Amino acid sequence: MRRIALPPRHAPRSTRAPRLSPGAVSGDTWTVLLRLAQPDDAIAVAELHVRSWQVAYRGLLFDDYLDALQPEVWAQRYTFADPDPLKPATILAQERDVICGFATIGPSGGEDTDSAGELLALYVDPERHGVGVGRALIHEARARLARQGFREACLWVLLGNERAERFYRIDGWSPDGARRPAMVAGFSVEDIRYRRPLP
């Protein structure tokens, strides 16, 4: 568990009242707490997970499918605080008592990347895009994978998710040419793989 100081905030991206750090003003630095997820975090993480999918994948997946996503269902999939090192671990970014992002890491299951770690997921509350939460999470994710002995990491990105691809390229990840097809609610999609050395 550690705290990360993030750069000064800019003006809100929407007219909605800010949900986090109501006392913060432009020019102030602010901090997020990075910690491992616990079972009690499941619903809050699932709510953020669903919101992120509904924003990130709008236009890439069926609207009806995205609109029908239920956090209560997603929360049941998580295995937070599992001590098995071969199981995924989820890092949370928390400001005060609100979770604003998460990253999930674990060993890679790929036949040609079986000695690599994998960034299995990284999502930030859409209202907190562009303020450093994602950078803090991916840095911590890479550092944890390196401490586990991995020298390389990989991740998969949904083809067409240009925002995510830009983010990963800035962080030093590169596509390696691998692709995998998948079906999501009857929608045919394709993922592309990125890799980078650690940390």
Placement of tokens 């550690």 in the chain: 2
Q: What is the pTM of this model?
A: 0.86
Q: Please determine, for residue 189, whether its predicted confidence score (pLDDT) is greater than 70.
A: yes
21 assigned to some structural domain:
no
Look up the domain containing 52 and give its range. 2-7+30-197
Answer yes or no: is 17 within a domain: no
- CA dihedral of 164, 170, 171, 172, whole degrees rounded to 10: 110
Mean of all residue pLDDT scores within the chain: 88
pLDDT score recorded for residue 30: 76
Q: Per residue in 135-180, pLDDT tens?
A: 999 999 999 999 999 999 999 999 999 999 999 999 999 999 999 9
Say how many C-beta atoms besides its own lie within 10 A of residue 127's C-beta. Answer: 16
Give the CATH number, domain containing residue 142.
3.40.630.30
Domain presence at residue 101: yes
For residue 61, pLDDT over 50 is answered with yes
Give φ, ψ of 10 to 5 degrees: -105, 180
Mean pLDDT of all residues in 78-87: 88
| 15 within a domain of the structure (yes/no) | no
Residue 184 lies in a domain: yes
* Domains of the chain: total: 1
